[in-house]
Structure 1
Amino acid sequence: MVIRNVRLKQCGAAFALAMFALIPTGVQAETGPAPAPASPSDVVRFVVEGDLAGVLIRAPDGTIKPVAGITRVKDALKVLADERLAAVWPDLLAWAGSDLRRLRDRSLAQTESALNDQSRFVPTTLRERQALWPKKLLAFTQYLDALSDAGKISEAIALAQAEITTPAIAQDALDTGQIQVKLATLFERSGAVDSAIGALQQAAATTSDQSAIENINVNLAAKLAIAGNYARALTLINAEERGYDQISPAKLFQTGRHMPDSHAYFAAIRACALNGLGNHEEAMRMLALIEPDPETPFTESVRSQTRLRAYRCMHDAAGLAAELAPLVANAAPGSVLMIELQPGYQTDPAERETVAKALTDARLVHAMAGRARVLGEPYASAIAWWNVAPVSPGTPKPAN
């Protein structure tokens, strides 16, 4: 193990690694409201053991807390975008590569190894744990993400399509539905929103499990709204929410397939669709049903995530800036929220432009000062998944 530039005398190497290893990827940065910006002497600048790396910080009360575990490129980007963690950047880049390609390749190898040997530890996000996914499904979808992160999105799409048709997967409609949703996400990430919509329509038409259909249709409504098909998005999300409300609490507990604050997703999609149809006042009333949640760690707050999605989908730069400003002001060091500030991370051109415009708003500029920065080269390629390759030929197209 290597602990670089340690100034925390009470932090032994084994203790530091143990604290880091207990925090799953995707939630480790979210430990509550941010302390004051850290000085270099407050930061354990880098902790490394084998392929495991992380950043720790001394909290105001003197305790040592993990603030960022780094196993994927996205994890490194959120640290590099956080100016409070500038002291770790040199060591992070020495380990991950100056353009993060070394970390990209390491992450791809790790997830492929975990897919082939499911006894290996696979870090999980809060969302993945809430969804109660089987380990095989989790390992497979994480490998798809790693391929996509590495710019191999055509390979990820082909692999997902092949997996959907295998008998072992096809026997479990819920697992198949999750892979179908992931396939649509891959299409969307590649810029092929029409193919994403087509894949979800095909999935809904061929799936017999009602819970799987509900999940597919909610994702379909979101992508229809992004594509500007607001009337269909509104009709579909209204129908899905009515169906959701009719499910008994006992069934929800038994299936474990519905995420917390599901109504926030419905309201966000409905707000975008209403706004697109010219009913801005009703859209804002709908958005107001999702109460702001700036004090809850961003990764844990479905409300904060969905409100941001709604403003991006509505192409409301002023609203997005107003929403982001208090979140940034309260963000824990190394928060995944730092990725949300990167225009290049958005795959939809209109949403990318919305984020870029929001960054010029004085409220957000003030909130970001001394806390967050927009990343340029040499990280722009990493943010955009190394300029992903064109999608595979013969991809599904949406029905008329």
Structure 2
Amino acid sequence: MPWIRAQGTIPDAHPGKTFYLIGDPAHAAVIATHNGAFLGGWPLSTPNEVLRVLADRRLAFMWPALETWAGPALEPMRARMLADAQERFRSGTPLAAKGTAESSVRPMTRALLQLASELDGAGRTAEAAALLRERLATPPGKEDWQRSEFAMISLRLARINYGRGNITNAIDVLQAASMALPDSRYSLNFDINRASYLVQGGQYAAGLELIDRTLTRYTGESGEKWTPGGDRVPGSMREFALIRACALKGLGRSQEAKTELDALLNAPEPADPVFVLTNNVTLRFRALLCQRDIEALAGFIIGSLNGPAVADGLMVWLQRDFETPHLDPALVQAVRAHPRVRAAVATRVRTLPPEFGAVLNRRPAAR
């Protein structure tokens, strides 16, 4: 088949399986077969997804062809993605939703959110923020769609600030959004995220007070307690547990924190026909980071790297040059320096060459 660019096997973890890199000039994907039968696959639609393959030693047979397809330092791919997002924004034809926010808005607003994310990914964060702020300068309106979209744009702007380490700015965005939509059901989203950012910023008491107040309002308005299938967005109660666990641990209330953490770790995987939901694995990693439990984090990482999954997101997080401005650098360094983590990384993870630094950290391309 002419669209096959590379193929190979991973005998130790996937006997009988063959992995293929397929693609045309603009699109690529990894697919797997077992004894000739198609098993499934995933698209390589973002630089992060490409970096995960390029960092997985088990997929080394794909690296030359994938680097050729994506272009030097992945910059041609990043430029294509941004140009595509700009055209889709002009035409109002976004890609499929990625995440709960994008699955909660109409196509034109989804295209806006996607363009903002691409601008941020290209290191043009000020342009991304300006694009979102321009929309937020208009009052939210009275229709539910208008209010929902105002909320999701606000949340995206706060998230971009948080991802760049500007936690105070992220909190300010959500505070302004709450004032624009007072007593709205969307203010619950603002308060949940604001509580999370407060806790991430070390304001444990303020974060706990806000998340408890929000939880009381949430359960009262929804008429549901913590039961599977009882959330308006399935799995929402996991976020409450995560934030409470982090705040309680920060306040030294370790046993209460453990109770919340256990509830999160044992939560069933949610599903929904409309919303794109955060999976349990992602939330568990966030929870362990917030608990600052080095041994638990090491166990989580080792289990992931030695498991059957290929191109895991941790392949990027563990890169020596990957920057995490929203996290305590001492915590990140301690996890990466853990002897068992270092041993697993040496076996499974390729250290990406320096030329990937810009795309790895969402900085502008080197001139």
Residue 210 of structure 1 aligns to a residue in which SS? coil
Counterpart CA distance in 1 for 2:364 and 2:293 is 26
Counterpart CA distance in 2 for 1:169 and 1:338 is 43
Query: 1:180 aligned to 2:154?
Result: yes
Given the alignment, which residue of 43, 63, 66 partners 2:19? 43
Superposition deviation, residue 168 in structure 1: 7.7
Counterpart CA distance in 2 for 1:336 and 1:369 is 16
Supply the AA of the counterpart residue of 1:4: R
**Taking structure 1 as reference, are residues 202 and 342 closer, same or farther at Cα in structure 2, changes over 3 Å only?**
farther
Conserved? CA contact 1:47–1:54, under 8 Å? yes
Find the counterpart in structure 1 of residue 106 from structure 2: 134
Which has the larger displacement, 104-113 or 283-292? 283-292
Query: 1:56 aligned to 2:31?
Result: yes
Given the alignment, which residue of 79, 82, 95 partners 1:122? 95
TM-score normalised by the chain length of structure 2: 0.83
Supply the AA of the counterpart residue of 1:124: A
Given the alignment, which residue of 263, 275, 291 partners 2:249? 275
Identity value in percent = 27
**Taking structure 1 as reference, are residues 104 and 165 closer, same or farther at Cα in structure 2, changes over 3 Å only?**
same
Find the counterpart in structure 1 of residue 135 from structure 2: 163
1:210-249 Cα offsets, whole Å, 9 max, x none, are 2210111111011111111111100111111122222337
Conserved? CA contact 2:99–2:278, under 8 Å? no
1:206-285 to structure 2, matched below 5 A, reads 206-208=180-182, 210-248=184-222, 258-285=232-259
Counterpart CA distance in 2 for 1:371 and 1:196 is 35
Counterpart CA distance in 2 for 1:173 and 1:296 is 25
Counterpart CA distance in 1 for 2:142 and 2:200 is 29
**Taking structure 1 as reference, are residues 289 and 342 closer, same or farther at Cα in structure 2, changes over 3 Å only?**
farther
Aligned length: 352
**Taking structure 1 as reference, are residues 132 and 185 closer, same or farther at Cα in structure 2, changes over 3 Å only?**
closer
Residue 347 of structure 1 aligns to a residue in which SS? coil
Find the counterpart in structure 2 of residue 16 from structure 1: none
1:159-184 Cα offsets, whole Å, 9 max, x none, are 11001123687861111011101111
Conserved? CA contact 2:31–2:41, under 8 Å? yes
TM-score normalised by the chain length of structure 1: 0.77
**Taking structure 1 as reference, are residues 35 and 228 closer, same or farther at Cα in structure 2, changes over 3 Å only?**
farther
Residue 42 of structure 1 aligns to a residue in which SS? strand
Counterpart CA distance in 2 for 1:337 and 1:281 is 29
Conserved? CA contact 2:222–2:232, under 8 Å? no
Residue 292 of structure 2 aligns to a residue in which SS? coil
Supply the AA of the counterpart residue of 2:5: R
Conserved? CA contact 1:68–1:334, under 8 Å? no
**Taking structure 1 as reference, are residues 273 and 167 closer, same or farther at Cα in structure 2, changes over 3 Å only?**
closer
Conserved? CA contact 2:140–2:180, under 8 Å? no
Conserved? CA contact 1:148–1:186, under 8 Å? yes
Find the counterpart in structure 1 of residue 66 from structure 2: 92
1:1-400 to structure 2, matched below 5 A, reads 2-5=3-6, 36-37=12-13, 42-44=18-20, 46-59=21-34, 62-119=36-93, 122-125=95-98, 127=100, 131-166=103-138, 172-208=146-182, 210-248=184-222, 258-291=232-265, 302-330=279-307, 332-342=309-319, 344-350=322-328, 352-365=329-342, 367-368=344-345, 370-375=347-352, 377-386=354-363
**Taking structure 1 as reference, are residues 43 and 304 closer, same or farther at Cα in structure 2, changes over 3 Å only?**
closer
Conserved? CA contact 2:140–2:147, under 8 Å? no
**Taking structure 1 as reference, are residues 197 and 42 closer, same or farther at Cα in structure 2, changes over 3 Å only?**
same
Conserved? CA contact 2:54–2:60, under 8 Å? yes
Superposition deviation, residue 139 in structure 1: 1.3
**Taking structure 1 as reference, are residues 115 and 192 closer, same or farther at Cα in structure 2, changes over 3 Å only?**
same
Supply the AA of the counterpart residue of 2:95: V
Supply the AA of the counterpart residue of 1:52: H
Counterpart CA distance in 1 for 2:170 and 2:264 is 27
Compare relative contact order (CA 8 Å, sep 6+) and give the higher one, 1 or 2.
Answer: 1
